[in-house]
Amino acid sequence: MSARRIGYLRVSTAEQRPDRQIDGLRHICDELHIEKISATSKRRAVYESVIAGLQPGDFFVIWDLDRAFRSAKDALVELDRLRERGIEIQIANLSIDTATPYGMLLYTFVSGLAEFERRLLSQRTREGLAAARGRGVRLGRPPKMTAAQIKTARKKLAGKHATTASVAAFYGVHPWTLRRAINRLDTQLTDA
C-alpha cells in the first residue's frame, strides 16, 4: 500500500470558510477532512478520527500549523507520537516535510514561532483592552437596560406593589438581569 496524504482543515466558526485551505490542499492530498471548531476545544472529533485512521507511511497534511495544533508543545508532542507510528507531517504552505532532517528543523522552528505569535497577539489584545478601559470605553455587549430604566424599575420595586418578575417582563428582560442591574446601580451609588 502506498503512502497516503491525508489533509486536515479547520476553521474556528461555522461562519469562517476553509476555501483557502481547500485550494491549497486538494491537489496534493488523497483525502480532505474539514472541522469547524475552535482549536481550544477539549475534544475535536474530526481531528481525533483522522489521527486514529493514519497508517504507517502516511502523511498528515495541514495548510498552517495553527490549523491542527494549540501550542508548540502540542505540535512537537503530536509529531513524536505520529513518528513512532511511522507517520510524518507536512505543512503545505511552507513546504515543510518532517520526513527530512531539514523539514524537522523547520517544523521545530515554526512551532516555536507560531507559539510566540499567539502569545504576542494575546498580549497585544490584553494591552489594547486595558488602554480602551483606561479611556473609559465600555467593553462587551451593550446593557439591556438604560440607567433611567434601572432607576425607574428600582422605584417600582421599592413601592412593594410590583414583583421583580413583573417589572422585568415590562422591560423585556429576565428577572435575574433586572436584579443584577439594580445591584450594580446600588454598588455605584454606594461607591460614589
Percent of the chain clearing pLDDT 90 (strictly above):
65
Q: What are phi and psi of 98, to 5 degrees?
A: -70, 0
CATH number of residue 33's parent domain = 3.40.50.1390
In DSSP terms, 61 is beta-bridged to: 7, 90
Active-site positions read 12
Q: How many CB atoms lie within 10 A of CB 31?
A: 13
More confident call, 149 vs 114:
149
Q: Are 36 and 89 members of one domain?
A: yes
Rg (CA), the chain: 26
| Sheet with 59-62, edge to edge strand ranges | 31-36, 5-11, 59-62, 88-91, 96-97
Band (192; pLDDT cuts 50, 70, 90): low
Band (178; pLDDT cuts 50, 70, 90): very high
**137 belongs to a structural domain:** no
Angle at 45 between CA 41 and CA 87, to 5 degrees: 105
Three cell numbers, residue 177: 438581569
Q: Are 102 and 39 members of one domain?
A: yes
Mean pLDDT for the chain overall: 91
Pairing of strands 88-91, 31-36: unpaired
pLDDT digits (tens, 9 = 90+) for 64-103: 988 888 888 989 999 999 999 999 999 999 999 999 999 9
Say what the pLDDT of residue 1 is.
61
Q: Are 104 and 161 members of one domain?
A: no
175: domain range? 147-191
Instruction: Quote the number of domains for the chain.
Output: 2
Q: Are 111 and 165 members of one domain?
A: no
Residue ranges in the chain assigned as alpha helix (H)? 19-25, 45-53, 72-84, 101-134, 147-158, 164-171, 175-191
**125 belongs to a structural domain:** no
Q: Are 99 and 185 members of one domain?
A: no
Helix, coil or strand: residue 189: helix
- Residue carrying C-alpha cell 510566540: 116
Q: Are 103 and 156 members of one domain?
A: no
Say what the pLDDT of residue 2 is.
75
pTM of the model: 0.67
Q: Are 113 and 169 members of one domain?
A: no
User: Where does residue 69 rank: exposed (0-12), middle (13-18), buried (19+ CB within 10 A)?
Assistant: buried
